[in-house]
Structure 1
Amino acid sequence: MRKKNKRKLQLTSESILGVGDSHRHRGGKEIHGCHGSGDRHLSIERAKKASKSGCITDPWGSNRRRTLVVAMVHLFLFVGKGERVDYGRQELVIEALESIRRACLSSRLQQDETIFQGLLAVMPALLRSNGDSVLVRSISLVEDIVLDSYQFLMNLIRETSVLHKLLVHLGSADEDIQKQVCHLISTIASCVHGKEILCRLGATQKLMYLLFMVTEPIMDSINGKDVLRLSSNLLSNGQKFLCSSVLCSLSKLTLNNVSECLGTVWQGCQVSALKPLQNVWTFFRNTSLYPVDDDEIRAVAKMIVSLTMELESLDDEFNDSHMKIIDDLFGKEGEFTHFWDEHWEQYPSLISEGVLGGELRLDLFKSWQIDGDPFFLRKLLTRSTTCPPFSCDKVETSHIFKEIEEDIGRPIIFGQDIRLVKSVCSAGCSQLCSIHSVHEEDYHKVIRAENMNNAEKVMYADVETCVHAYEMGYTIALRGLEFRCPHVAAIAEALAICFGQATVGANLYMTPSNAQGFKPHHDDHCVLVWQIKGSKVWKLWTPKVPLPRLYSQHSGIERGCTDEEDFCKVSLKEGNILYIPRGFPHAASTQTRSQTPHVCSEQIKSTQRFTNCSRGSESCMISRGYTDKIHDSTPTFHSDSRCVNMPNFFQQVLEDNIGQSLHITFGVEVEPPFEWEGLIHMALQCWAAEDKDIVLGRKVLKAEGCETSGTKSKYLYLGLLHVAVRQCGDDCSTFRKACLIAAKPPFGFYGINEFGSTFMALIDNVANKASFRKALNIVLTAIDTPDSNSLDWMHWMHNISGAQDSTIWSDPVTFFHSTLMDDEIRYKRLEDMEIEFSQMKDSFILCANYAQASDVFISLLQKYRSVRQKYMKGMLYLHN
């Protein structure tokens, strides 16, 4: 009985095809088939004719599902049991595939697991076919069904053996097959799970290799040549389309997934892939020979940055190259020592012509091709992309990359990367007036007004717009020069190591003749102004607020300063360097000496109010023999190792024709963790982590265990003590000075032990000045102020604290609010809370450990510096 049923089943499947000793039953009638050796050939001929007529179908043509089943059975028959499709059946297989494709797309069938599994079962054999046409049609069919059926896509993703065989064909010699595989990869990568499987199977590495192979003619031609002069015939039409397909696949595969994709690439391949990726990016970014979608080429940029940021390359030792840079900038040991002791964070200083040596500037001239190019910046801007900012307190590479990923590879952005600005008279005069009647005019606002309906034009800065603005008298200010030029990056790195800071930024300013870019202002970082070409007149005023913190906002800094008194004027020539400490108001222009100062009626009305400029003094506690340097004297400038008072400073004759100017500013940014105040915060955290049992009143607060009210009290007072330390820093500028314990000057005359007395003096300041009521008032004000960011400065401390108290730093306002609302705390008398706060403060003062805090300081600085260096090198790879 079993044998009979098995034979009947075989006959039924054969009857569908009409072959062998079959009987086909239609409507109850018996139809006899043909017999003999020609039966199989005849059925194949019938299938062939049916395929040409449109699709293989039953006589009525109404049952589309049965039509699809018939075509699938034909496909199984033609493929056979072998691993490959032989040459004799390739045409029939192609016709069956086309029939299946037409049936699927025209019928919009319900998702059928049987059909899907059948097609996937035969795919390995199809993908092993000897015929290129079969491969192309098979892959195309799968892509069409995937686009039409999410269920089939999920089934395909589970069949890793099919995907593996599919990826093998990226190495095919046939461009059509490679393109079809790329298209299918792009489709599968639209699913998150599909991306993960493809990456795990090595799709990223195979696509990168294919990209390098297809662009090999470009790579051979790009070496030693200007990419703008390359021929458009380097690639054939087929190579152009294949290149676009590969880039599209990489774009879809790496979308919001770059780090994960590249993590599956062999590490040795990651390093070797950087240069080819850079060449591909450089070529397609800077030429219009081959049209490529922006998102596709930006995928290459993201891979470059991601790969570069994963490389371990931190070098914070002061080596010979750094020594040479500092020597060129500051001169010999005696001159640098004088600058360090007498001017750093105290008074402006001028380093004269000749000290620089000229080699650094010559390197810049060569790299930028300044000589012979009336507007070299055109080339620099053409090859520039945006350098996205990221959160300053992030120390994890992956977190930073996620933050900047969306903008990597985009054009330079107005306001973020570049500004076009000029100072004009508020009264509409043709000449500049004093600072009281001058305002800044931003060309971006002009563009925005003229292109309200063109968002891309408003956001991105094109080269011709910048050139036009420059010709109209606007200064071009380009941010992040250390990310775009390796020579500038080397100088910035040397300065950061020398001054013991995490980073030094570099901006480029190009000002036309007879113009002023920015109105008088102050910076929140120390600036080294390096005059590269031309010359520029600078005016400096005494500061009202000494040593402002980074990212701080002080309004009215320039008030009290007039053009008529209490300022100094100097003309910077090529090679000169002017050091301006943070907080000193300044302005620069290319105005000629022959111009007569112009006074507006508005200025005359307000001049009387500002005849005496404030010196900006402050009160700072003096203890243990420590004397804080107070900014209450007229600034002194340094020139040729000689100091002179500000009113008589550089009585030099300015050139009659200043002309155009090009200068670079190096900003030494003292970030909150690396001020002296930051070191005190670190000492406080070290003490809190070590002192497990803190006695407050009659209670012993445990630092470990469940979060009881006692534990909350401990963290409340700890947070308030940090706020009180911040308040001490507001009142005393020494807290805001750069902590130099990690500085590595070229002559090695500083060390950690040199600063112990400074640390203890600041601890004494906290002991005497830290106020519970002031700290509590600051916290309550932050809680009562909607969208307050007055406690955001605490965020960086999550990098030095444990997971248990991380809530304080991630959202301090919410922490303080919830803790103060705790039942046991909210009903406490204010006097009792103040006593407990004082007990905690006294315990910290007695146990503050300078050596321990210094270790934390240096460790955190290395983390900051490491991630900044990785970001910088990633951006440099995009620009060079």
Structure 2
Amino acid sequence: MDRSSMDRKRKMKKREERGDEAAADDAPPSSSTFDRHVFPILLAAAQTTRQSSNSCSAARLLRRVLSRSPRVLSPLPDSLTALLPLLLSSSCSSVAAVSCEVLGAAALRSMEAAEALASDRGIASGLATALGSRSQRVTEAACNSILDLSASSVGREHLAASPVLPRILCLFSQAETIFGLVHSRSAKCTEIPTEGNKILCLIIDTMVLLVNSCKIDNLQNLQQELVKNVMPLLYKIWKKTQLLKSSTDCDKWMNQLQSKEYDISEAIFRLSIDLASPACLEPDVVRRSIFGQTVSGFENFVLAYWEKSPNLYRRKQNTQNDNPVFTALRSAFNLRAAPDAIIDSLIKGLVSCPAIASDELDINSFLNEVHDSLGDSVKYRQDIRVMRTPEPSDQTSRVCVMEEHFFNDGTVFMDEDAFTEKCKHAFKNGYSIALRGMEFRSEKLATIASALADLFGQPSVGANIYFSPARSQGLARHYDDHCVLVWQLLGCKKWMFWPNPKPLLPRLYEPFDPLDGTFDENSARGEVLLEGDMMYLPRGYVHEARTDVGESQVDAYADFSLHLTLAIEVEPPFEWEGFAHIALHCWTEKQKLENSQFIEPRGEAEASFFAIVLHVAIRSLSDNDPVFRKACMVAAKLYSPSPCTAIHSEALRSSQRSTFDEILQKIDQKCSMKEALKSITVAVKGRNDEPFQWMSWLRHLPQQGDADHRFDFCNIFRALEELVEAFNSNPEQALADSTGFKSRFCRSIVYEDACKSFEMLLGMYRTTRNQYMKGMLALHGAHVSRAVENSSWRKSSCSG
């Protein structure tokens, strides 16, 4: 037989073999056919530990399943689904990669299939193993499969709660191309290979998607050490992305990266909110640094000055270095530099801090509202103000002089360098620079503000910085709706302030009254604050401040001033009015629980209606009674390490208890249930629920009983309608019963029970505020200082 005949026979035999295979592939697939022909080989391949003929056969079979029998994927046979965890974990890169492709293709066939596959713990574990492969092909296939499975929110949440998330974080921290990018000082992308670019972008996209899909509770389960390792890298990627977007050389790189800048910033925010805080100052250290070393200093301040009158604390120059809080503040800024350098240290690297709702206790809700603006450039008025108050003319009263602003309201400063130069120019022309939210931008200020909030038993304390040139006034004469501690850090400043002429303290979120002639100009008091001095100003005290410069000074930069204000803002639930509402709610719910076996549902509903009427009556009384507006400090962190300090702490606690007794007496004697019912009736008739929107924060308090009888305090109008209808059936009896309800509350409420509910609510507020603080600190680079260069941890193994 000649060679040509032999070649023809071999080719015919191959065509026959290919035809048999094609016929088998083209036949309508069924689960039994799959189990009989494919399953045995896949099972053998899944159990092999090295590259073998079985593994190669499995890879070919899977490839055919993917490319030539699409109907097998809709849905996947149960036997294949059961094998996928082993196939995804195969040491054969071809098997693992093709298994990932099969999984991704099946997910794209059906949303229901994607959700079912994503919820399979075995498949999630297999994907986590595939992400740990040394093969770039497997890593790429695994990432693509995860993205395919994440087409729905359900799929994303399942994968984010699985071992896939810690594994992708570990993979991100180990990727060599990431280190090449974050350490590159160039905006050009040519230093990074194309393939490295592709896999880097894929890893980032997968990780960011899962982090932003993960519930906060699940994020809290991640190992802190892993998150700490990821944070500096992710932050630098985010900053590099901001740099690259202005480079025309990086279009291809940016097109490969699907994550937007705000997606990366949200991932940074989310990962940071459960990281352990840096070594923070204890409330007792802050207490002694601010209010003196004596054991009674803070208690005396609260009893004598708090929300009553200003007080000045002079610091001796030779003792300032021994004050840990003052030392921490001075080290947070470059205070010995020239003004331009100080402005650089204040402004460079700032991002906008969007406001969080006063009664927001779910950080997820906040993120849903602002996710596409996290990490934005600073915005005028929201984050920074640059202003000056001119000298009045001879014919103009200083009280009428308004401040001038260098920028327009709402201006967003995209070019940081140009913005910084404009601020320096404004400073030289007499404008002061004011930065709000410094507790979100500096870890040292964050620890001080947090400790002070604990000390006063409040949700948070704000920190603002004011940098003023010589012979100038920044803010015009005004008053604040919060108490402030003014700490002079550099230079000196002269303060003028007037007593509050009104008996009622101003409240947060209420409109400011215009300044007029109701206060006596001659009653002004003046104080010059030197470096280290601190002054307390209660809310409602009208004041103004100027840099105090002698006439002999001619240097334009002489005697400039930098001071910090620590704003103790009393949120509505933490005034004494709020404590009264909490006490009423706590007592009502306790009555329901204790009498649940004896009260009919109708009686339970009536008790809830009586409570609503009394809430409205208490609110009405507080509008005109100064005591209700004062801060409640039953949760203040008072330390009692010795019998001596215990005596002083007990004096403050006794004062708080006495205030509560006074409030109960006022409620019993002055709260008019009749007027409260009348105001509710008028509002219902007029379809106006605005007077009752303040109740929304009560939704955070637990409610007992049937869900149908629980009030929705965010949508109270329906309950008010039912209340009016029920009370109108017998008005006189309803009024008598509600008045009796009020008297029973005032007689039988247990102070300690109310304190527990108050502290519980405060803890919820503090948790959310701390999460927000940590997230914003991370966006200001708080975790970048943990040296990325020390990469020894990258060589250690990462467990999923």
Q: TM-score, normalised by structure 1?
A: 0.70
**1:471–1:512 CA contact under 8 A, matched in 2:** no
Q: Secondary structure at the match of 1:528?
A: strand
C-alpha distance in 2 between matches for 1:845 and 1:720: 15
Partner of 2:383: 418
Local SS of the residue matching 1:670: coil
The SS at the match of 2:309 is: coil
**1:828 maps to 2:727:** no
Which aligned pairs between 1:711-722 and structure 2 lie closer than 5 A?
711-722=604-615
Give the counterpart letter for 2:149 in structure 1.
I
Query: Quick check: 86-95 or 134-143, which moved more?
Result: 86-95
Paired residue type of 2:223: Q
For residue 172 of structure 2, what is the aligned residue in structure 1?
211
2:680 is equivalent to residue 779 of structure 1: yes
- Mean Cα deviation higher: 356-365 or 719-728: 356-365
Select the residue among 419, 425, 441 that pairs with 1:471.
425
Shift of 1:346: 0.8
Counterpart position of 2:564: 664
1:357 match: 320
The one-letter amino acid paired with 1:213 is Q
Cα distance, 1:849–1:496 mapped onto 2, change above 3 Å? same
Once the 2 structures are TM-superposed, how far is the Cα of residue 391 of structure 1 from its aligned partner?
4.1
Could you tell me which runs of 5 or more consecutive residues in structure 2 were left unpaired when the two chains were aligned: 245-253, 640-644, 783-800
Q: After the TM superposition, which of the residue ranges 412-421 and 189-198 deviates more from structure 2?
A: 412-421
- Which residue is 2:341 aligned to? 375
Candidates 741, 754, 764, aligned match of 1:840: 741
Give the alignment partner of residue 730 of structure 1, picking from 616, 619, 623. Answer: 623
Give CA deviations for 1:226-272 in whole Å, capped at 9, x if unaligned: x9799999976655543322220122223443436536xxx4x5222
Q: 1:582 to 1:176 in 2, by over 3 A?
A: same
Distance change in 2, residues 1:41/1:172 (3 Å): farther
- Amino acid of the residue matched to residue 471 of structure 1? H
Counterpart in 1 of 2:661?
760
Match of 2:153 in 1: 192
Contact 1:207 1:250 in 2 (8 A): yes
- Is 1:486 the equivalent of 2:448? no
SS at match of 2:711: helix
SS at match of 2:201: helix
| Cα distance, 1:348 vs structure 2 | 1.4
Query: Which stretch of structure 1 is more off in the superposition, 183-192 or 870-879?
Result: 870-879
Q: Please state whether the residue corresponding to 2:173 is helix, strand or coil.
A: helix
Q: Residues 412 and 540 of structure 1: is their aligned pair in 2 closer, same or farther, counting only changes over 3 Å? A: farther
Of 436-445 and 731-740, the range deviating more from structure 2: 436-445
State the Cα deviation string for residues 820-846 of structure 1 (Å, max 9, x = none): 023xx22434x5544443333333333
The answer on whether the counterparts of 2:119 and 2:159 sit within 8 Å (CA) in structure 1 is no
CA contact (8 A) 2:496 2:525 kept: yes
| Kept in 1: contact 2:88–2:97 (CA 8 A) | no
Is 1:339 aligned to residue 301 of structure 2?
yes
- 1:445 is matched with 409
Q: How many pairs were matched up?
A: 737
Tell me if structure 1 keeps the 8 A contact 2:299–2:649. Answer: no
**Matched residue SS, 1:531:** strand
The answer to whether the 8 Å contact 2:309/2:538 transfers is: yes
Q: How far off is 1:724 after superposition?
A: 2.0
Cα 1:177–1:380, aligned 2, differ >3 Å: closer, same or farther?
A: farther
For 2:111 and 2:579, the matched residues in 1 are separated by 57
Q: Does 1:304 align with 2:242?
A: no
What is the SS of the residue equivalent to 1:281? helix
1:159-213 CA-to-partner distances (Å, cap 9, x unmatched) read 7655544432211112232123212211211223432443454111211111121
Structure 1 counterpart of 2:795:
none
Please say if residues 385 and 412 of structure 1, whose CA atoms lie closer than 8 Å, have aligned partners that are also in contact. Answer: yes
1:436 to 387, 390, 400: 400
Counterparts in 2 of 1:431 and 1:243: CA distance versus 1, 3 Å: farther
Q: CA deviation at 1:344?
A: 1.5
SS in 2 for 1:666: strand
Task: Pick from 176, 183, 192 the counterpart of residue 137 of structure 2.
Answer: 176
Shift of residue 351 of structure 1? 1.9
SS at the partner of 2:718? helix
| Secondary structure in 2 matching 1:341 | helix
Deviations 1:66-123 (A, max 9, x none): 7999xx99x969978741696679999989988887779xxxx889748988997997
> In 2 relative to 1, CA 248–722 (structure 1 residues): closer, same or farther, beyond 3 Å?
same
- Give how far 1:666 is off: 0.8
Cα displacement (A) at 1:380: 5.2
* Percent of paired sites with the same residue: 23
Larger Rg: 1
Matches of 1:743 and 1:527 in 2, distance apart? Answer: 17
Residue 581 of structure 2 aligns with which residue? 681
Deviates more, 1:136-145 or 1:792-801: 136-145
Change (3 A) 1:196 1:103: same
CA distance in 1 between counterparts of 2:744 and 2:629 reads 24
Determine helix, strand or coil for the equivalent of 1:821.
helix
Change (3 A) 1:235 1:535: farther
Alignment correspondent of 2:249: none
2: CA distance between counterparts of 1:159 and 1:546? 64
* 2:233 aligns with one of 280, 283, 302: 280
Post-superposition offset of 1:525: 1.4
Partner of 1:629: none
Q: CA-to-partner distance for each residue in 1:629-673, whole Å, 9 max, x for gaps?
A: xxxxxxxxxxxxxxxxxxxxxxxx999976543322111122333
- Could you tell me which residue of structure 2 aligns to residue 14 of structure 1? none
> Counterpart of 2:383 in structure 1: which amino acid?
I
**Which amino acid is the alignment partner of residue 438 of structure 1?**
M
**Paired position in structure 2 for 1:324:** 285
The whole-number CA distance in structure 2 between the counterparts of 1:129 and 1:677 is: 65
What residue in structure 2 maps to residue 769 of structure 1? 670
Query: Does the residue aligned with 1:445 lie in a helix, a strand or coil?
Result: coil
Q: CA deviation at 1:547?
A: 5.1
Quickly say closer, same or farther: Cα 1:238–1:483, change in 2 above 3 A.
Answer: same
TM-score by length of 2: 0.76
1:790 is aligned, of 687, 691, 695, to 691
Tell me if the contact between 2:160 and 2:213 (Cα under 8 Å) persists in the aligned partners: no
Structure 1 CA distance, aligned partners of 2:206 and 2:748?
Answer: 60
- 1:577 partnered with 2:534: yes
Give distance in 2, aligned partners of 1:660 and 1:821: 65
Does the aligned pair in 2 maintain the 1:511–1:660 contact within 8 Å? yes
Contact (CA 8 Å) 1:721, 1:775: kept in 2 or not?
Answer: yes
Determine the structure 1 residue equivalent to 2:510: 553
1:818 aligns with 2:722: yes
Match in the other structure for 1:621: none
Which aligned pairs between 1:574-613 and structure 2 lie closer than 5 A? Answer: 574-590=531-547
CA distance in 2, matches of 1:853, 1:506: 30
Matching residue of 1:807: 711
What is the CA–CA distance in structure 1 between the aligned matches of 2:425 and 2:598, rounded to whole Å? 66
2:89/2:129 contact within 8 Å kept: no
Q: CA deviation at 1:442?
A: 7.3
The equivalent of 1:750 in structure 2 is: 649
Determine the C-alpha separation between the residues in 2 that align with 1:260 and 1:502: 21
Distance 1:102 1:346 in 2: 79
Gaps of 5+ in 1: 1-34, 51-55, 448-456, 596-652, 695-700
Letter in 1 for 2:634: I
